[in-house]
Structure 1
Amino acid sequence: QAIRHADSFAALDRHKDSGKIRHYAVAVGPDLGWQDEGVASVSERRVPAQIIYSILEQDPARAIIDAATANDVGVFTRVPHASGMLDGTHTKDTVLDETPFGESDHRSYRRLMWMKSAIRKLAAIDFLLENYDATIGQLAIRFCLMPNVVASCTPTITTEEMLDEYVAASDLGRFDAADMTTLDRLYATNFDVDDEPARMKSSVSPTGFVLMDGVTEIEPAAA
């Protein structure tokens, strides 16, 4: 409803016309989900959208990217490292018995079960480290920059070393078509990991949630 609220966008356009702001965009979130909202932003409003996108979490970003491409609107990606799963902190051999995030960490909403599942998926993408002279953190960013409609990628950076590492990702060449095909296949099969479909938030579902297919309604998770 907010995306279709004409008065809000009319006010933003007035500020833009008056010179108070140069540009504005929509941040889709928080958390995964909001596919209908993101698609409406780039297709109905034709306003750039900032979206969550990573090798491990490609939905609903792919639908929004497709809509943005069709409407010649740019998108910005964030959380390319899937809350630390793709920044080199963890490997396929990592064993987690408790969440590594403290209560004050914005990533603390991630459930331990999700993190264990993500670690199992790391084994499936090991081939990227063999095929490219880059860190997993750099490869994660390079993946997010692959769609032509993506204007930028915003990772979480807390040290100067991370800044230097991630900036270098822009110098990497594009992934080979064969590797992208492999990643597409792996994502379609959940990286050969057997776990429950991810829940995504939605303002158009009566329950407030949909499954990763963006269609099936489910009951909200217990508190």
Structure 2
Amino acid sequence: MHYRTLGDSGVEVSEVGFGAWVVGTDWWGDRGEKQALDMLEHALNRGITYFDTGDVYGHGRSEELVGEAFADRREEVTLATKVGYDFYNNPQAGHGEIPKEIIPEYLREAVEKSLDRLDTEYVDVLQLHNADVSEVDDDILETLDELREEGLIRATGWALGPSIGWLAEGDRAIAEGFDSVQLVWNLLEQEVGTHFLETIDELDAETSLIPRVPHSSGLLNEQVTPETELGEGDHRGFRPDEWYETGWEKLETLRFLEREGERTMGQASIAWLLAHDAVASVTPTFRTTEDIDEWADAGEVPALSEEELDRVAELYTTNFGIDRDDGMDSLRSSVDGADLRKADIEKQPAD
């Protein structure tokens, strides 16, 4: 495992991180408490030190499990969490988005409750969870500064979503000097990541990018194939069939990234993201310890060559040679798609 620094915060993160949305929830398949704790411990033993959770995951349960797993190893891990959704006063209805509360008083209270669940005196990275650009005013920025000065947080981040897009939010985070921006970014969904690379370059910013969904919801690691029947509650079942059908065709054009005995497609998908200097950590969705064993080694496999990187770029420019709709034409963005249109991104798959 290799390690990188998040922005200019001095916070060190492992190149492959653990997205703790898979523990404490059933959105990626249900797993018992013992399995969840075993996975967290196994990840740390494999060199993964960056663990990314959120207070809304399982309404606090994910944070509790992370806190329990590392109660005696706190100094070995970098803990990130997210706040902004008011699940304390609003029930969760399936996968629907609950109301947010992005005001100083609520954020401070939410942080204190997260610290209690995580059984820690500070979090290394505090992220605003899917905050709209209009919600983050000077008072919010001042509150984040105060939390850092008080030693309750070490770095700030902005987690974008729930759909891909949200360029206005990422651009604002980079302009305001947030240490990290978390986004959906992978070989099949590249526009937004490319846009933020350009913003970072234009502003000469230090903000780090943290890609999630590096395997495009199971396509690139082949956990979702034409024969797969997704379980009840699995969030990936909400994507249209056309998206999967075109995705499987795109995957076949990327087979050149595999090297038998040296680099799997799942590893290559992460290695491609790590080839970008602005990327600090990639957070795949681990479902088993076998996933951890394979993907934790993504930084150790042969790096993608310039020829391979150029070939990926050419394929993406031509939509992998596929000329039909993938069922994901509708855009969701916090500013009604205006940020995407301004960036000349006409169509972009949602998360």
Match of 1:86 among 203, 220, 223: 220
In structure 2, give the amino acid aligned to 1:81. H
SS in 1 for 2:297: helix
| Aligned-pair CA distance for 1:172 | 1.8
- TM superposition score normalised by structure 2: 0.55
Q: Which residue of 1 aligns with 2:19?
A: none
Counterparts of residues 46-85 of structure 1 (less than 5 Å) = 46-47=177-178, 48-69=180-201, 70-85=204-219
| Aligned-pair CA distance for 1:10 | 1.0
52-61 or 1-10, larger mean C-alpha shift:
1-10
SS in 2 for 1:64: helix
Counterparts of residues 106-145 of structure 1 (less than 5 Å) = 106-130=235-259, 133-145=262-274
Looking at structure 1, the residues matched to 258 and 315 of structure 2 have their Cα atoms a distance apart, in angstroms, of: 16
In structure 1, give the amino acid aligned to 2:333. S
- Structure 2: unaligned runs, 5 residues or longer: 1-132
Q: Which residue of 1 aligns with 2:170?
A: 38
- TM superposition score normalised by structure 1: 0.84
SS in 1 for 2:238: coil
In structure 1, give the amino acid aligned to 2:152. K
SS in 2 for 1:153: coil
In structure 2, give the amino acid aligned to 1:76. I
Looking at structure 2, the residues matched to 104 and 28 of structure 1 have their Cα atoms a distance apart, in angstroms, of: 22
Counterparts of residues 88-107 of structure 1 (less than 5 Å) = 88-90=222-224, 95=226, 100-107=229-236
1:154 equivalent to 2:288? Answer: no
In structure 2, give the amino acid aligned to 1:38. G
CA change 1:216–1:157 in 2 (3 A) is: closer
Q: What is the RMSD computed on CA atoms of the aligned residues?
A: 2.7
Looking at structure 2, the residues matched to 132 and 212 of structure 1 have their Cα atoms a distance apart, in angstroms, of: 44
Question: Does the Cα contact within 8 Å between 1:34 and 1:202 map onto a contact in 2?
Answer: yes
Looking at structure 1, the residues matched to 191 and 345 of structure 2 have their Cα atoms a distance apart, in angstroms, of: 12
In structure 1, give the amino acid aligned to 2:325. E
Question: Does the Cα contact within 8 Å between 1:138 and 1:168 map onto a contact in 2?
Answer: yes
SS in 2 for 1:127: helix
1:6 equivalent to 2:138? Answer: yes
Tell me the matched-pair count: 212
| Aligned-pair CA distance for 1:203 | 2.3
CA change 1:209–1:106 in 2 (3 A) is: farther
In structure 2, give the amino acid aligned to 1:26. W
Question: Does the Cα contact within 8 Å between 1:60 and 1:214 map onto a contact in 2?
Answer: no
Looking at structure 1, the residues matched to 247 and 220 of structure 2 have their Cα atoms a distance apart, in angstroms, of: 9
SS in 1 for 2:210: strand
1:22 equivalent to 2:154? Answer: yes
CA change 1:45–1:7 in 2 (3 A) is: same
Structure with the greater alpha carbon radius of gyration: 2
SS in 2 for 1:15: helix
Counterparts of residues 162-177 of structure 1 (less than 5 Å) = 162-177=291-306
Question: Does the Cα contact within 8 Å between 1:3 and 1:40 map onto a contact in 2?
Answer: no
- Structure 1: unaligned runs, 5 residues or longer: 218-223
Looking at structure 1, the residues matched to 147 and 298 of structure 2 have their Cα atoms a distance apart, in angstroms, of: 35
Looking at structure 1, the residues matched to 135 and 186 of structure 2 have their Cα atoms a distance apart, in angstroms, of: 24
Question: Does the Cα contact within 8 Å between 2:209 and 2:279 map onto a contact in 1?
Answer: yes
Looking at structure 2, the residues matched to 211 and 110 of structure 1 have their Cα atoms a distance apart, in angstroms, of: 23
Q: Which residue of 2 aligns with 1:193?
A: 322
| Aligned-pair CA distance for 1:107 | 2.1
Match of 1:204 among 327, 332, 335: 335
State percent identity of aligned pairs: 30
Looking at structure 1, the residues matched to 297 and 270 of structure 2 have their Cα atoms a distance apart, in angstroms, of: 10
Residue deviations 1:66-87 (CA, integer Å, cap 9, x gap): 2234312211111000000011
Looking at structure 2, the residues matched to 109 and 120 of structure 1 have their Cα atoms a distance apart, in angstroms, of: 20
Looking at structure 2, the residues matched to 212 and 191 of structure 1 have their Cα atoms a distance apart, in angstroms, of: 24
SS in 1 for 2:281: strand
SS in 2 for 1:25: strand
